Amino acid sequence: GESVGLHLPTLSVQEGDNSIINCAYSNSASDYFIWYKQESGKGPQFIIDIRSNMDKRQGQRVTVLLNKTVKHLSLQIAATQPGDSAVYFCAENHYGQNFVFGPGTRLSALP
Amino acid sequence: EAGVAQSPRYKIIEKRQSVAFWCNPISGHATLYWYQQILGQGPKLLIQFQNNGVVDDSQLPKDRFSAERLKGVDSTLKIQPAKLEDSAVYLCASSFQGLRNEQFFGPGTRLTVL
Protein backbone atom coordinates (compact mmCIF):
# COMPACT_ATOMS: atom_id res chain seq x y z
CA GLY A 1 0.00 0.00 0.00
CA GLU A 2 0.97 3.64 -0.01
CA SER A 3 3.48 4.61 2.61
CA VAL A 4 5.41 7.49 4.01
CA GLY A 5 8.98 7.02 5.11
CA LEU A 6 11.98 8.87 6.46
CA HIS A 7 15.57 8.76 5.31
CA LEU A 8 17.20 9.09 8.74
CA PRO A 9 15.93 7.43 11.89
CA THR A 10 18.13 9.56 14.20
CA LEU A 11 19.63 13.00 13.90
CA SER A 12 22.04 14.68 16.30
CA VAL A 13 22.59 18.41 15.96
CA GLN A 14 24.61 20.92 17.95
CA GLU A 15 22.53 23.46 19.79
CA GLY A 16 22.25 26.59 17.74
CA ASP A 17 22.72 24.79 14.43
CA ASN A 18 19.94 24.21 11.95
CA SER A 19 18.23 20.80 11.71
CA ILE A 20 16.85 19.25 8.56
CA ILE A 21 14.52 16.27 8.81
CA ASN A 22 13.52 14.52 5.60
CA CYS A 23 10.49 12.53 4.54
CA ALA A 24 9.66 10.63 1.36
CA TYR A 25 6.11 9.82 0.36
CA SER A 26 4.92 7.43 -2.30
CA ASN A 27 1.32 8.47 -2.97
CA SER A 28 1.52 11.02 -5.77
CA ALA A 29 -2.13 11.88 -5.10
CA SER A 30 -1.36 13.15 -1.60
CA ASP A 31 -2.14 16.82 -1.41
CA TYR A 32 -1.77 17.71 2.25
CA PHE A 33 1.12 17.12 4.63
CA ILE A 34 1.70 17.72 8.32
CA TRP A 35 4.78 17.61 10.51
CA TYR A 36 4.26 16.50 14.11
CA LYS A 37 6.57 16.62 17.11
CA GLN A 38 6.29 13.94 19.79
CA GLU A 39 8.07 14.32 23.11
CA SER A 40 8.58 11.37 25.40
CA GLY A 41 5.37 10.32 27.13
CA LYS A 42 3.22 12.72 25.15
CA GLY A 43 1.02 12.58 22.10
CA PRO A 44 2.09 14.10 18.77
CA GLN A 45 1.84 17.87 18.53
CA PHE A 46 1.10 19.72 15.29
CA ILE A 47 4.04 21.82 14.08
CA ILE A 48 3.28 22.96 10.57
CA ASP A 49 1.35 21.87 7.52
CA ILE A 50 1.60 22.41 3.79
CA ARG A 51 -0.72 21.85 0.86
CA SER A 52 0.40 20.55 -2.50
CA ASN A 53 -0.18 23.90 -4.21
CA MET A 54 2.73 25.31 -2.20
CA ASP A 55 6.47 24.58 -2.27
CA LYS A 56 7.41 26.25 0.98
CA ARG A 57 5.78 27.36 4.17
CA GLN A 58 7.37 29.08 7.13
CA GLY A 59 6.45 29.18 10.77
CA GLN A 60 8.24 30.28 13.88
CA ARG A 61 11.79 28.85 13.50
CA VAL A 62 10.42 26.09 11.24
CA THR A 63 10.17 25.79 7.48
CA VAL A 64 8.61 22.98 5.49
CA LEU A 65 9.67 22.38 1.90
CA LEU A 66 7.69 20.25 -0.52
CA ASN A 67 9.13 18.83 -3.73
CA LYS A 68 6.31 17.12 -5.59
CA THR A 69 8.56 16.08 -8.45
CA VAL A 70 10.48 13.65 -6.26
CA LYS A 71 7.76 13.25 -3.64
CA HIS A 72 9.85 14.60 -0.82
CA LEU A 73 9.28 17.00 2.01
CA SER A 74 11.57 18.33 4.68
CA LEU A 75 11.32 20.14 7.98
CA GLN A 76 13.95 22.71 8.77
CA ILE A 77 14.38 23.92 12.34
CA ALA A 78 16.47 27.02 12.77
CA ALA A 79 18.80 27.44 15.75
CA THR A 80 18.01 24.07 17.30
CA GLN A 81 17.31 24.25 21.04
CA PRO A 82 17.24 21.56 23.75
CA GLY A 83 13.45 21.75 23.71
CA ASP A 84 13.46 20.65 20.09
CA SER A 85 14.71 17.20 21.07
CA ALA A 86 11.88 14.83 20.21
CA VAL A 87 10.66 12.43 17.53
CA TYR A 88 9.34 14.10 14.42
CA PHE A 89 6.75 12.52 12.14
CA CYS A 90 5.54 13.51 8.72
CA ALA A 91 2.00 12.55 7.77
CA GLU A 92 0.46 12.63 4.33
CA ASN A 93 -3.14 12.81 3.27
CA HIS A 94 -5.18 12.48 0.15
CA TYR A 95 -8.53 14.19 0.44
CA GLY A 96 -11.16 11.84 1.78
CA GLN A 97 -8.64 9.38 3.15
CA ASN A 98 -6.98 9.13 6.51
CA PHE A 99 -3.51 10.34 7.33
CA VAL A 100 -0.57 7.99 6.90
CA PHE A 101 2.29 8.63 9.31
CA GLY A 102 5.93 7.95 8.66
CA PRO A 103 8.08 5.99 11.14
CA GLY A 104 9.63 9.11 12.68
CA THR A 105 13.06 10.67 13.15
CA ARG A 106 14.56 11.22 16.58
CA LEU A 107 16.22 14.62 16.88
CA SER A 108 18.77 15.17 19.63
CA ALA A 109 20.11 18.63 20.33
CA LEU A 110 23.64 18.27 21.66
CA PRO A 111 25.03 20.87 24.14
CA GLU B 1 -8.41 25.18 27.07
CA ALA B 2 -8.26 21.64 28.43
CA GLY B 3 -6.64 19.11 26.17
CA VAL B 4 -7.61 15.57 25.25
CA ALA B 5 -7.76 13.40 28.36
CA GLN B 6 -7.00 9.69 28.41
CA SER B 7 -6.99 7.06 31.11
CA PRO B 8 -5.37 4.99 32.30
CA ARG B 9 -1.88 6.17 31.37
CA TYR B 10 -0.38 2.71 31.78
CA LYS B 11 -1.82 -0.78 31.77
CA ILE B 12 -0.19 -4.18 32.07
CA ILE B 13 -2.24 -7.29 31.36
CA GLU B 14 -1.68 -10.91 30.41
CA LYS B 15 -2.56 -12.22 27.00
CA ARG B 16 -6.17 -13.27 26.54
CA GLN B 17 -7.32 -10.75 29.14
CA SER B 18 -9.50 -7.80 28.22
CA VAL B 19 -8.74 -4.10 28.62
CA ALA B 20 -10.54 -0.81 28.05
CA PHE B 21 -9.25 2.69 27.41
CA TRP B 22 -11.15 5.92 27.91
CA CYS B 23 -10.88 9.22 26.05
CA ASN B 24 -12.45 12.61 26.67
CA PRO B 25 -11.93 14.92 23.68
CA ILE B 26 -11.66 18.68 23.65
CA SER B 27 -15.04 20.26 24.25
CA GLY B 28 -16.85 20.98 21.00
CA HIS B 29 -14.74 18.68 18.87
CA ALA B 30 -17.00 16.58 16.68
CA THR B 31 -14.33 14.22 15.33
CA LEU B 32 -12.52 11.69 17.47
CA TYR B 33 -9.77 9.28 16.48
CA TRP B 34 -8.10 6.27 18.04
CA TYR B 35 -4.56 5.46 16.92
CA GLN B 36 -2.25 2.59 17.73
CA GLN B 37 1.44 3.47 17.98
CA ILE B 38 3.81 0.53 18.18
CA LEU B 39 7.25 1.33 19.59
CA GLY B 40 9.46 2.89 16.96
CA GLN B 41 6.63 3.48 14.50
CA GLY B 42 4.27 6.27 13.60
CA PRO B 43 0.65 6.24 14.74
CA LYS B 44 -1.77 4.07 12.78
CA LEU B 45 -5.43 5.02 12.67
CA LEU B 46 -7.77 2.43 14.14
CA ILE B 47 -11.10 4.22 14.02
CA GLN B 48 -12.56 7.65 13.34
CA PHE B 49 -15.85 8.96 14.76
CA GLN B 50 -17.86 11.93 13.59
CA ASN B 51 -20.09 12.76 16.55
CA ASN B 52 -21.34 9.31 17.61
CA GLY B 53 -21.11 7.70 14.17
CA VAL B 54 -18.23 5.67 12.75
CA VAL B 55 -16.60 7.26 9.69
CA ASP B 56 -13.74 4.82 9.18
CA ASP B 57 -12.91 1.60 10.98
CA SER B 58 -11.21 -0.16 8.09
CA GLN B 59 -8.00 -0.78 10.08
CA LEU B 60 -9.68 -1.87 13.29
CA PRO B 61 -9.19 -5.61 14.03
CA LYS B 62 -12.87 -6.16 14.64
CA ASP B 63 -12.47 -9.70 15.90
CA ARG B 64 -10.89 -8.36 19.08
CA PHE B 65 -11.14 -4.56 19.08
CA SER B 66 -14.28 -2.51 19.59
CA ALA B 67 -14.93 1.15 20.15
CA GLU B 68 -17.89 3.32 20.92
CA ARG B 69 -18.66 6.96 21.35
CA LEU B 70 -21.97 7.23 23.09
CA LYS B 71 -23.60 10.68 23.05
CA GLY B 72 -20.88 11.94 20.74
CA VAL B 73 -18.46 12.97 23.48
CA ASP B 74 -16.39 10.43 25.44
CA SER B 75 -15.14 7.28 23.79
CA THR B 76 -13.92 3.88 24.91
CA LEU B 77 -11.68 1.44 23.06
CA LYS B 78 -11.75 -2.19 24.14
CA ILE B 79 -9.54 -5.15 23.36
CA GLN B 80 -10.83 -8.63 24.08
CA PRO B 81 -8.91 -10.89 24.14
CA ALA B 82 -5.53 -9.17 24.06
CA LYS B 83 -2.55 -10.58 22.17
CA LEU B 84 1.14 -9.95 22.68
CA GLU B 85 1.27 -7.87 19.48
CA ASP B 86 -1.28 -5.44 20.93
CA SER B 87 1.46 -3.97 23.13
CA ALA B 88 1.58 -0.34 22.03
CA VAL B 89 0.58 3.19 22.96
CA TYR B 90 -3.05 3.93 22.20
CA LEU B 91 -3.56 7.55 21.29
CA CYS B 92 -6.81 9.42 21.19
CA ALA B 93 -7.12 12.61 19.16
CA SER B 94 -9.90 15.04 18.39
CA SER B 95 -10.52 17.76 15.85
CA PHE B 96 -13.16 20.42 15.50
CA GLN B 97 -14.68 19.06 12.34
CA GLY B 98 -13.27 16.50 9.95
CA LEU B 99 -9.94 15.15 8.91
CA ARG B 100 -8.35 18.33 7.55
CA ASN B 101 -8.77 20.25 10.79
CA GLU B 102 -5.85 20.14 13.22
CA GLN B 103 -5.88 17.02 15.37
CA PHE B 104 -5.08 17.41 19.06
CA PHE B 105 -3.65 14.30 20.65
CA GLY B 106 -3.95 13.05 24.19
CA PRO B 107 -0.95 11.67 26.12
CA GLY B 108 -1.84 8.08 25.24
CA THR B 109 -2.22 4.84 27.17
CA ARG B 110 0.78 2.56 27.16
CA LEU B 111 -0.39 -1.06 27.05
CA THR B 112 1.90 -3.96 27.81
CA VAL B 113 0.61 -7.46 27.13
CA LEU B 114 2.61 -10.22 28.84
Neighbours of A69 (CB within 10 A): 6
Give the phi and the psi of residue A64 in degrees, each rounded to 5.
-110, 135
Gap from A58 CA to chain B (nearest CA, Å): 17
Residues of B in contact with A103 (CB under 8 A): 40-42
Taking alpha carbons only, the member of A108, A105, A109, A107 closest to residue A6 is A105
Q: A83 in helix, strand or coil?
A: helix
Share of chain B above pLDDT 70, in %: 98
Q: Is A1 on the interface with B (CB under 8 A)?
A: no
Contact B107 A98 (CB under 8 A): no
Q: Is A16 on the interface with B (CB under 8 A)?
A: no
Q: So what's the pLDDT on residue A2? A: 40
The answer to whether residue B103 scores a pLDDT higher than 50 is yes
What value does the mean pLDDT of chain A take?
90
For B56, which residue in chain A has the nearest alpha carbon?
A: A98
Taking alpha carbons only, the member of B56, B45, B48, B90 closest to residue A100 is B45
Contact A43 B45 (CB under 8 A): no
